[in-house]
Structure 1
């Protein structure tokens, strides 16, 4: 009776194990390369913020602490970087700014990108546009809700919607930045941003108010400004055309 040569099994088993490990590592690397960076803006924190601070510090845009907190120094450094690199200057690290800073571009491996290039252009553009819009809308809703919370938490519900509508009206106006983050983070534009009140936990009511405004409800009739007449305000604001008052806020254009 012939004996089976067990020694022949070992090289084959080793090859199978190596192939499995290579495939696993490749899958891990692929998933890491495909990871989508989150949008960064004033007030949030994390390792991705620290990554931005390190890069901007290396390039002499940033000289503040490397603490992973998106502080005013980080905001101004990002704006300076954007201005020098032909990007929209809004102080927000979105997909384009991430790419300029050096984050691995989203979109998959080279074979996947090549396959995508072989698809009809219109189909690819529509798909990317829908994904991008969904990401922006989620980030914008969160940011808008925070400002509503900071500026109008004690106002009636319609007053909260009105504040959100003013912010969105500014985005559409040629006299203001054309992004929500750009409007919100304009220096001294909103008291709650300047004093960090907008970092409070967002209520369900504030979030619903932001959603209603984003869905088109504007109780202000297109107002671009709101202010509390019972607090000290700039004399200039009273030169605006008043469109009405809701709760404790006066609205104007």
Structure 2
């Protein structure tokens, strides 16, 4: 089994280059663990609103409680330990935050949540791949992946938008598509039923 350090480095590498990764395996991080991998987890948890200090790299009681709250909200057993399932979810959340940042940076917060919701709606639809990574990296699915904006570092707002989408907020009412009508090059999208207009984006089935 890979060490956590190698896994976290691989995650960063994957996110940077936009390589498809369907599963991240890691050994456990728990109370008493120290190092860059702990600091990485704390930094993500902080952006999500679970960890309220600057990352320390030490896995103590505060980190344990933050992990438990993350696990509760993302339907993972609340054990306070970062194992493979929690690592994979942190990876998925980070991946979605990169898409939200690249696709909806400058949009309202509601518009950012809407983009995150579309990703989750696609995962649930039989018209799209059934994992977040495969939805995100499906060929030509997201402009941000194609033009490199995916590589930009997401801000806290992007992470919070992903969290709210996971918690059930869907301003798109189940939409599978979104587009800026002023920038459309493929007019096929106009055949889809529009469910909502948020900022510069139309959302549609």
What interval of TM-score do these two structures reach, taking the shorter chain for normalisation? Answer: 0.5 to 0.7
Q: How does 1:78-97 map to 2 (within 5 A)?
A: 91-92=20-21, 94-95=23-24
Residue aligning to 2:110: 158
Length, aligned pairs only: 153
Provide TM-score, normalisation by structure 1.
0.54
CA 1:106/1:137 → structure 2, altered by over 3 Å: closer, same or farther? closer
Unaligned runs of 5+ in 2: 29-76
1:196 aligns with 2:148: yes
Q: How far is the alpha carbon of 1:94 from its aligned partner?
A: 2.5
Q: Is the 8 A contact 1:158 1:219 kept in 2?
A: yes
Unaligned runs of 5+ in 1: 1-32, 50-68, 76-90, 97-104, 108-125
CA distance in structure 2 between the partners assigned to 1:209 and 1:93 by the alignment: 22
CA 1:71/1:145 → structure 2, altered by over 3 Å: closer, same or farther? closer
Structure with larger RCO (C-alpha < 8 A, sep 6+) = 2
CA distance in structure 1 between the partners assigned to 2:177 and 2:192 by the alignment: 8
CA 1:151/1:35 → structure 2, altered by over 3 Å: closer, same or farther? same
Q: Any runs of at least 4 consecutive aligned residues in structure 1 with deviations exceeding 4 A, and if so which?
A: 69-72
Residue aligning to 1:38: 7
Residue aligning to 2:85: 133
Instruction: Report the secondary structure of 1:141's partner residue.
Output: helix
CA 1:93/1:178 → structure 2, altered by over 3 Å: closer, same or farther? closer
Q: Is the 8 A contact 1:38 1:94 kept in 2?
A: no
CA distance in structure 2 between the partners assigned to 1:183 and 1:198 by the alignment: 14
CA 1:206/1:71 → structure 2, altered by over 3 Å: closer, same or farther? closer
CA RMSD of aligned residues (A): 2.8
Instruction: Report the secondary structure of 2:121's partner residue.
Output: helix
Q: Which has the higher helix share?
A: 1
CA 1:241/1:95 → structure 2, altered by over 3 Å: closer, same or farther? same
Greater radius of gyration (CA): 1
